[in-house]
Amino acid sequence: MHKWEGLFHRAIIQSGSALSSWAVNYQPVKYTRLLSEKVGCNVLDTLDMVDCLRKKSARELVEQDIQPARYHVAFGPVIDGDVIPDDPEILMEQGEFLNYDIMLGVNQGEGLRFVENVVDSEDGVSGNDFDFSVSDFVDSLYGYPEGKDTLRETIKFMYTDWADRDNPETRRKTLVALFTDHQWVEPSVVTADLHARYGSPTYFYAFYHHCQSLMKPAWSDAAHGDEVPYVFGIPMIGPTDLFPCNFSKNDVMLSAVVMTYWTNFAKTG
């Protein structure tokens, strides 16, 4: 019997999946040693290192700047053989979660976070920046596999709007779509498919709306986290420090609908 059995009956997975590249830390020792070095702990002896880290304050630990590989996390869930007994995809393929209802989904423009730092993204994305972003994407996620050039050119081909190929704003839109598809959509769709394969209740949503805010560029679609205020009824309260949006009556109505969907699922599946 797994430790999680009997603790819950259904789950809502928003904007992410255990199959996303950033969902699981596959190199926990590497990043733990990096953190230990920054806070002055001995990294040569594992027991000493762990004991030293436990004596550090939480604030000191979280204040350290540990940069993970691109599209990955330095600290997150770890396959420890206990709480997480195996790779999440293997667990799903084996039907380990078949007794649980799940609802999961993605936002239209999740990939915004990977495009915001592209040079001149406010005015669109140049051809050179697009090519570099795709090459960096392939190198960071796949290393240097055989056929890397073919993979890179295939991605460029699939994410080029050939009817408007020279438009930098269109290029920016397709680049957001690339990151959205790879980091959010594909992992979520595969998760839903694996879960539904066993006849387990599975629901999928796509969120396209976002509030008007000066915190994000005007050209962006519903980005990562943009559904959160609607789940918690923030439009009914008004702007907050965390969600400084100009909420409209339509936002209030949408929030009421989203909360109804979420709570109905929580109560009855």
pLDDT digits (tens, 9 = 90+) for 49-106: 999 999 999 999 999 999 998 889 999 999 998 889 999 999 999 988 878 899 999 9
| Chain Cα centroid distance, residue 260 | 24
Task: Write down the pLDDT at residue 99.
Answer: 80
Residue 119: predicted pLDDT: 61
What is the average per-residue pLDDT within 230-252?
93
CA distance 67 to 217: 25
Contact 43, 37 (CB under 8 A): yes
How confident is residue 29, by pLDDT bands cut at 50, 70 and 90? Answer: very high
Which has the higher per-residue pLDDT, 211 or 60?
60
pLDDT tens digit sequence for 132-180 = 999 999 988 887 667 888 999 999 999 999 999 999 999 999 999 999 9
Of the segments 68-82, 116-130, 178-192, 210-224, which one has the largest average pLDDT value? Answer: 178-192
Asked if residue 1 has pLDDT above 70, the reply is no
pLDDT, average across residues 104-125 = 85
**pLDDT-above-90 percentage for the chain:** 71
The pLDDT of residue 131 is: 94
Q: Is the pLDDT score of 201 beyond 70?
A: yes
Contact 171, 125 (CB under 8 A): yes
The 3 state secondary structure assigned to the chain is CCCCCCCCCEEEEECCCCCCCCCCCCCHHHHHHHHHHHCCCCCCCHHHHHHHHHHCCHHHHHCCCCCCCCCCCCCCCCCCCCCCCCCHHHHHHCCCCCCCEEEEEEECCCCHHHHCCCCCHHHCCCHHHHHHHHHHHHHHHHCCCCCHHHHHHHHHHHCCCCCCCCCHHHHHHHHHHHHHHHHHHHHHHHHHHHHHCCCCCEEEEEECCCCCCCCCCCCCCCCCCCCHHHHCCHHHHCCCCCCCCCCCHHHHHHHHHHHHHHHHHHHHC
What is the predicted pLDDT for the residue at 6? 78
Instruction: Measure the CA–CA gap between 71 and 265, rounded to whole angstroms.
Output: 31
pLDDT score, position 258 = 98
The pLDDT value given to residue 32:
95
Are the CB atoms for 236 and 168 separated by under 8 Å?
Answer: no
Task: Give the domain ranges of the chain.
Answer: 10-24+77-268, 25-76
Q: Strand 101-107: give its sheet, edge to edge.
A: 10-14, 101-107, 202-207
pLDDT confidence band for 121 (50 / 70 / 90): low
Average pLDDT, the chain: 91
Beta carbons within 10 angstroms of residue 171's beta carbon = 24
Note the pLDDT of residue 8.
85
* CATH of span 10-24+77-268: 3.40.50.1820
What pLDDT sits at residue 269?
87
Confirm if 15 and 268 have CB atoms less than 8 A apart: no
Q: What is the C-alpha to C-alpha distance for residues 222 and 231, in angstroms, rounded to an integer?
A: 14
